[in-house]
Amino acid sequence: MEYYSWVLTFHVMSFMSWMAMLFYLPRLFVYHVENHDKKEFVEIVKIQEEKIYKYIGYPAMWATFLSGAVMLYLNPSLLEGGSWMHAKIFVVTLLIMYSLSLDYFRKELANETCEKSGKFFRAYNEVPTLFALLIVGYVVTKTFSLLFTLISLLLFCFIAYKIMQPKKGS
């Protein structure tokens, strides 16, 4: 347990770096899609998309995953305390899948084969916020609350619905 606090520190910093990419990359996708007619601008955005994913987000995702695994190895009792850790691991798995989906969209945008709209990416940009809310809620409270989870999901659905609505007057 001597090293646990250091591993936890690295885990939190890795998670923060990963989340920075998860929050910013879909916003770059919005700029990319909505400015497709401005070739020079899009070329700069493509470089930003690639660098933030390959050099920040992807390594930070793996650092978060591996440091989390080391924490569970050092303190296996985390898995015994209740369903909160299992819920966290489930949401982290969804977050990994979301992260990999960003690479898929990044490649589609780079190849100019992506047919998603700016509104889609605006709504998609809210997904990591939901996942971070759930993960942090479970970790801080050390409980799994179905009510908290459902309210979070409903809030996300409401926000995504509002984002996808046509603007008034258009």
To which H or E segment does residue 46 belong? helix 39-51
Residues 33-70: tens digit of each pLDDT: 999 999 999 999 999 999 999 999 999 999 999 999 99
Task: Locate 53 and state its tokens.
Answer: 């994913």
Structural domain of 51: 4-164
Residues 116-170: tens digit of each pLDDT: 999 999 999 999 999 999 999 999 999 999 999 999 999 999 998 888 888 776 5
Domain presence at residue 155: yes
pLDDT of residue 165: 85
Domain presence at residue 169: no
Distance between CA atoms of 15 and 10, rounded to whole angstroms? 8
Domain presence at residue 60: yes
Q: Looking at the 3D structure of the chain, how many domains does it have? A: 1
pLDDT of residue 166: 82
Altogether, the residues listed in the chain come to a count of 170
* 3-state class percentages of the chain: helix first, strand second, coil last, to nearest 5: 80, 0, 20
What global pTM score does this model have? 0.91
Closest CA to 96 of 125, 58, 129: 58
Q: For the chain, how long is the longest CA-to-CA vector? A: 62
Q: How many CB atoms lie within 10 A of CB 151?
A: 12
